[in-house]
Amino acid sequence: MISFDNAAYSYGGAELLTEITLRLVPGSFHFLTGPSGAGKSTFLKLCYAELLPTAGRVTLFDREVRSLGRDDVARMRRRIGVVHQDCQFIDHLPLAANVTLPLTVSGRDGDPQDLSDLLGWVGLGALADALPPQLSGGERQRAAVARAVIMGPDVVLADEPTGNLDWEMSLRLLTLLVELNKMGKTILVATHDLNLIRTAKAQVAARVLRIKNRRIQLAGADL
């Protein structure tokens, strides 16, 4: 689904990630951890082709990312739901329009009932007409999850999805991601919240990856 073959990424002469070999198989649940600035966001951007590897190969759905045109990248991104650290909404559009944006740009009409169900599932049923700046941090994060899954993507990537949330809200968000995984979605969550990872491992067979010295390694039982 997404695979890295000895991939590396450098910027301005500095190597941020190196010797990454990894496969995200369908239906898997991975956490990616490491200290701030370790390269978690950079790794996620490589996963949805916002960045291209400077060495090695990254393959999305059996296609090497460097061979993809801009339209190909757009089509790939419709199969990958991303929950960004800063959520990234269009502020002048109401929440419902932001959540359905992936459908809109791909020329598909969403079923209003499905949208209503989805917003209810993330606990935002009453806020469909609210503008993003009117939402709290937790509401924005849940809206980002809703937008990430509305296309029924094969993969969901989440970058510090609980970074701005209290513990109760973090657990609620984690539950959403676990439910998605149980529906067969491949999940990759970048976080430095070890408590969240321990809680998740009690609910789902999650593998934990750690970025250390610019390399990704499988974390041990110390987590």
Partner 1 sequence: MIRAALARIARRDRAADRVVPTSGPTAWLTSFTAGAMTFLAVFALALSLASGRLADRWSEALARTATIRISAPTDQIAPQTQAVLDLLATTPGIASARAMTDDEQRALLEPWFGPDLPLDALPIPRLIEITEADPGFDAEGLRQRLSAEAPGAVLDDHTRWRQPLVVAAGRLRLLAGVSIVLILGTMAAMITLAANASLAANAQVIRVLRLVGARDSYIARAFVRRFTLRALAGAAVGALAGMIGIAFLPAADAAGGFLTGLGFQGAGWLLPLALPLLAATIAFVATRIAAFRKLKELT
Q: Which stretch binds partner 1 (CB under 8 A): 1-9, 89-97, 116-124, 163-171?
A: 89-97
74 near partner 1, judged by CB under 8 A: yes
For the bound state, the minimum distance from the C-beta of residue 160 to partner 1, rounded and expressed in Å, comes to 16
Cβ nearer to partner 1, comparing 151 with 206: 151
List the interface residues with partner 1, window 144-203 (CB under 8 A): 147, 151
Dihedrals φ, ψ of 31, to 5°? Answer: -105, 145
Q: Which stretch binds partner 1 (CB under 8 A): 26-34, 56-64, 99-107, 208-216?
A: 99-107
Q: Is 71 in the site for partner 1 (CB under 8 A)?
A: yes
CA-closest candidate to residue 187, choices 65, 93, 196 = 196
Binds partner 1 (CB under 8 A): choice among 8, 47, 82, 206: 82
% helix, strand, coil for the chain, step of 5: 35, 25, 35
Alpha-carbon distances of 93 from 48, 75, 146, rounded to whole Å: 24, 23, 15
Nearer to partner 1, 39 or 132 (CB): 132
Among 55, 93, 130, 178, binds partner 1 (CB under 8 A): 93
Q: What is each CA distance from 209 to 41, 62, 78, 110, 217, in whole angstroms?
A: 14, 22, 25, 36, 6
Q: Where are the beta strands (DSSP E) in 36-174?
A: 55-60, 63-64, 80-83, 155-159
Among 50, 64, 111, 129, binds partner 1 (CB under 8 A): 50
Q: Tell me which of 84, 140, 185, 214 binds partner 1, using CB under 8 A.
A: 84
Site for partner 1 (CB under 8 A): how many residues?
24
Q: Which residues contact 42 (CB under 8 A, 6 or more apart)?
A: 9, 16, 17, 51
Check residue 221 and report its DSSP letter. T
Binding site for partner 1 (CB under 8 A): 48, 50, 70-71, 74-78, 82, 84, 88-90, 92-93, 97, 101-102, 104-106, 147, 151
